[in-house]
């Protein structure tokens, strides 16, 4: 049933958003490095690798520069128009095509690169591979301001690997363990809400019994008991 709604929502969204896509594609073609889409290998269901679609927001060789696939606030690799696309999350919309093709779901664990996937324990890796990754999801909602967080905490790759990744993995594991059609629609609603009201703490109120974040993340995640 979830796959039916994935096809329905992604298909309708691609049709409705096609004029916006054309405008963005025009701007990207004639600004920055002239790249429109950024395709990157991500790990999907059963560990199968697929190409994830995004609008290009960074320098072409970004994965081989600086912090690799981890993006910091005010990252110098991000192009001027790319900052707007990332801030509004519009750069993520081409993943609707991944959903329509069956690589992803509307809701699920975040699709991971090899670099970030390796930051998780073997148990979390195996759990994540049980389901399709999602355009949004519980982990993506809670960590919606991850770039801001990395800047705020003066974080490093070690901070990501030792603090952020383990907790994010716990959230993805919670989603897989509690996966249902109800949670699917609830996560869609909360995603829309946090895009409109990014500073809200509503995720902590509607997703019951989420794992508590470590002390280092409580303030930046706007956590409330």
H-helix segments, the chain: 2-29, 80-88, 95-101, 114-117, 122-128, 138-142, 146-152, 157-159, 165-178, 181-196, 202-206, 215-218
Which pLDDT does position 216 carry in this prediction? Answer: 85
Which pLDDT does position 144 carry in this prediction? Answer: 85
The segments of the chain whose pLDDT lies below 50 read 64-67, 72
Q: Output DSSP code: residue 112.
A: B
Question: CB-based contacts of 136: which residues, under 8 Å, 6+ apart?
Answer: 106, 107, 187, 188, 191
Which pLDDT does position 184 carry in this prediction? Answer: 97
């Amino acid at each position: 049933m979830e796959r039916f709604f994935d096809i329905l929502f992604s298909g309708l969204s691609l049709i409705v958003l096609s004029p916006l896509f054309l405008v963005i594609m025009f701007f990207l073609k004639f600004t920055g490095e002239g790249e429109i889409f950024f395709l990157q290998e991500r790990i999907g269901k059963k560990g199968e690798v697929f190409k994830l679609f995004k609008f290009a927001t960074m320098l072409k060789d970004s994965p081989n520069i600086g912090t690799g696939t981890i993006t910091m606030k005010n990252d110098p690799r991000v192009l001027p128009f790319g900052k707007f696309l990332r801030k509004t999350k519009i750069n993520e919309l081409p993943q609707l095509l991944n959903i329509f093709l069956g690589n992803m779901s509307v809701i699920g664990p975040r699709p991971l690169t090899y670099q970030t996937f390796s930051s998780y324990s073997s148990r979390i890796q195996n759990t994540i591979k049980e389901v399709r990754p999602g355009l949004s999801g519980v982990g993506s909602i809670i960590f919606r301001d991850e770039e801001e967080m990395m800047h705020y905490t003066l974080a490093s790759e070690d901070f990501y690997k030792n603090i952020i990744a383990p907790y994010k993995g716990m959230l993805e594991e919670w989603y897989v363990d509690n996966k249902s059609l109800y949670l699917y629609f609830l996560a869609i609603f909360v995603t829309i809400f946090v895009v409109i009201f990014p500073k809200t703490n509503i995720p902590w109120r509607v997703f019951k019994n989420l794992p508590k974040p470590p002390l280092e993340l409580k303030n930046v995640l706007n956590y409330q008991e």
